Structure 1
Amino acid sequence: MLQRPLLQARKAPNWPAGPRGHALLGSLPELRTDALGYLRHVRAAYGDLFRMRLGPRNVLMVCEPAAAREVLVAQAGRFRKGRGIQKLRDTLGDGLLTADGETWRTHRRLMQPAFHRAALDRLSDEIVGATAPLLARLASARSGGQEVELGAEMLHVTLRAVAAALFGTALRDEDLRVVERELPPVLEHATARTRAVLDLEVLPTPAARRARASGAALDAVVGRIIAERRAAASAGDDLLGLLLAARDEEGGRLSDAELRDEVMTLFLAGHETTATLLTFLLLELSRSPEWRCRVQTEVRAVLGDRTPTAADLRALPLLGACIQEALRLYPPAWLLPRQATAPATVGGYAVSPDDNVSVNIFLIQRSARFWPRPDTFDPGRWLEGARMPDAFMPFGAGARMCIGNHLALLEATLISALVLRDFTLDVPGGGPTTLQAGVTLKPGGPVCARVG
Structure 2
Amino acid sequence: MTAAVPNNFGFARNPVRGVRKTVLARRHELSLPPGPKGRLMTGVLREFRSDPFEYLRGCVAEYGDVVHVPLPIHDLVVVNTPDLVKYIMGDPTRYSMVGPYAPIATRIIGGTIPLLEGDQLRERRKLMTPMFKHSSLNVLADEIVDEFATRIDRWGRWADSGQIVDLQHEIAWLTMPAFMRAMFGFVPSDAEIGQLDHDLRMLLSSFAAAIFLSPPPKFMPLPGRDTLPRAWRRITTWIETRVAHRRANPIEGTDMLQVLIDARDEDGKPLSHRDLVAELAIMITGGYETVVASVSWTLALLHRSPDDLDRLIAEVDALGGNRPTYADLKRLTWAKACFDEGQRLQGHPFHPRIALQDDVIGGHSIPKGTLVGVSVYALHRNERWWPHPDTFDPTRFTDREVIAQRPVNAFIPFGSGPHRCIGSQLGYMNAQFILALFHQRYRMHTDPGWTPKHASTFSTTIEGGLPVRLERVSADSSATQRFGR
Common fold, TM-score beyond 0.5? yes
Shift of 1:6: 4.8
- Asked if residue 96 in structure 1 is aligned to residue 102 in structure 2, the reply is no
Report if the CA contact (8 A) 1:370-1:391 is conserved: yes
- Asked if residue 76 in structure 1 is aligned to residue 92 in structure 2, the reply is yes
Distance across 2 between alignment mates of 1:137 and 1:318 = 26
Q: Deviations over 1:212-244 (max 9, x none)?
A: 223222222211111222233436433212333
- Asked if residue 231 in structure 1 is aligned to residue 209 in structure 2, the reply is no
Identity of aligned residues (%): 29
1:360 is matched with which residue: 365, 375, 400? 375
Give the residue type in structure 1 aligned to 2:278: D
- Asked if residue 5 in structure 1 is aligned to residue 11 in structure 2, the reply is yes
- Asked if residue 255 in structure 1 is aligned to residue 262 in structure 2, the reply is no
Distance across 2 between alignment mates of 1:67 and 1:434 = 28
Q: Secondary structure at the match of 2:114?
A: coil
Q: Secondary structure at the match of 2:70?
A: strand
Give the residue type in structure 2 aligned to 1:5: F
Shift of 1:186: 3.5
Report if the CA contact (8 A) 2:206-2:217 is conserved: no
- Asked if residue 327 in structure 1 is aligned to residue 343 in structure 2, the reply is yes
Instruction: Determine the structure 2 residue equivalent to 1:418.
Output: 437
Q: Secondary structure at the match of 2:261?
A: helix
Report if the CA contact (8 A) 2:97-2:353 is conserved: yes
Shift of 1:119: 1.7
Distance across 2 between alignment mates of 1:72 and 1:130 = 36
User: Does the C-alpha gap of structure 1 residues 144 and 413 become closer, same or farther in structure 2, counting only changes over 3 Å?
Assistant: same
Give the residue type in structure 1 aligned to 2:434: I
How many residues in Structure 1 have an aligned counterpart in Structure 2?
449
Shift of 1:171: 4.5
Instruction: Determine the structure 2 residue equivalent to 1:336.
Output: 351
Give the residue type in structure 2 aligned to 1:330: Q
Give the residue type in structure 2 aligned to 1:439: F
Give the residue type in structure 2 aligned to 1:242: V
Shift of 1:167: 1.9
Instruction: Determine the structure 1 residue equivalent to 2:328.
Output: 312
Report if the CA contact (8 A) 1:92-1:264 is conserved: no
Instruction: Determine the structure 2 residue equivalent to 1:120.
Output: 137
Instruction: Determine the structure 1 residue equivalent to 2:181.
Output: 164
1:280-295 residue pairs with structure 2 within 5 A?
280-295=297-312
1:101-112 residue pairs with structure 2 within 5 A?
101=118, 103-112=120-129
Q: Deviations over 1:271-312 (max 9, x none)?
A: 1110010101100111011111110111121x2232212222
Give the residue type in structure 2 aligned to 1:49: V
Give the residue type in structure 1 aligned to 2:386: W
Q: Secondary structure at the match of 1:30?
A: helix
Shift of 1:447: 2.1
CA RMSD of aligned residues (A): 2.9
Shift of 1:428: 2.5
User: Does the C-alpha gap of structure 1 residues 260 and 327 become closer, same or farther in structure 2, counting only changes over 3 Å?
Assistant: same
User: Does the C-alpha gap of structure 1 residues 206 and 402 become closer, same or farther in structure 2, counting only changes over 3 Å?
Assistant: farther
Distance across 2 between alignment mates of 1:85 and 1:126 = 39
Q: Secondary structure at the match of 1:97?
A: helix
Shift of 1:84: 12
Q: Secondary structure at the match of 1:10?
A: helix
Query: Comparing 15-24 with 55-64, which one deviates more in the overlay?
Result: 55-64
1:183 is matched with which residue: 178, 189, 200? 200
Report if the CA contact (8 A) 2:109-2:278 is conserved: yes
Shift of 1:193: 5.2
Q: Deviations over 1:231-261 (max 9, x none)?
A: 3343643321233344445444323321211
1:33-44 residue pairs with structure 2 within 5 A?
33-44=50-61
Instruction: Determine the structure 2 residue equivalent to 1:398.
Output: 417
Distance across 2 between alignment mates of 1:197 and 1:395 = 24
Instruction: Determine the structure 2 residue equivalent to 1:216.
Output: 233
Q: Secondary structure at the match of 2:236?
A: helix
User: Does the C-alpha gap of structure 1 residues 442 and 91 become closer, same or farther in structure 2, counting only changes over 3 Å?
Assistant: farther
Q: Secondary structure at the match of 2:240?
A: helix
Shift of 1:89: 6.5
1:50 is matched with which residue: 45, 67, 73? 67
Instruction: Determine the structure 2 residue equivalent to 1:148.
Output: 165
1:195-206 residue pairs with structure 2 within 5 A?
195-196=212-213, 203-204=220-221
Report if the CA contact (8 A) 2:79-2:375 is conserved: yes
Q: Deviations over 1:28-66 (max 9, x none)?
A: 111111111211222221112111111143321111111
2:36 is matched with which residue: 19, 28, 34? 19
Distance across 1 between alignment mates of 2:127 and 2:432 = 27
Shift of 1:445: 2.9
Distance across 2 between alignment mates of 1:255 and 1:62 = 37
Unaligned runs of 5+ in 2: 1-5, 26-30, 472-485
Distance across 1 between alignment mates of 2:108 and 2:427 = 22
Distance across 1 between alignment mates of 2:238 and 2:393 = 43
Distance across 2 between alignment mates of 1:224 and 1:324 = 37
Give the residue type in structure 2 aligned to 1:397: S
Q: Secondary structure at the match of 1:338?
A: strand
Instruction: Determine the structure 2 residue equivalent to 1:444.
Output: 463
Q: Deviations over 1:85-114 (max 9, x none)?
A: 979868854321233455434422322222
- Asked if residue 428 in structure 1 is aligned to residue 443 in structure 2, the reply is no
Shift of 1:196: 4.2
Query: Comparing 85-94 with 156-165, which one deviates more in the overlay?
Result: 85-94
- Asked if residue 371 in structure 1 is aligned to residue 398 in structure 2, the reply is no
Shift of 1:175: 4.2
Q: Deviations over 1:383-424 (max 9, x none)?
A: 112131331111111221111111111111111110012111
Q: Secondary structure at the match of 1:416?
A: helix
Q: Secondary structure at the match of 2:11?
A: coil
Report if the CA contact (8 A) 1:343-1:350 is conserved: yes
Instruction: Determine the structure 2 residue equivalent to 1:382.
Output: 397
Query: Comparing 222-231 with 251-260, which one deviates more in the overlay?
Result: 251-260
Report if the CA contact (8 A) 1:427-1:448 is conserved: yes
Q: Secondary structure at the match of 1:424?
A: strand
Q: Secondary structure at the match of 1:42?
A: helix
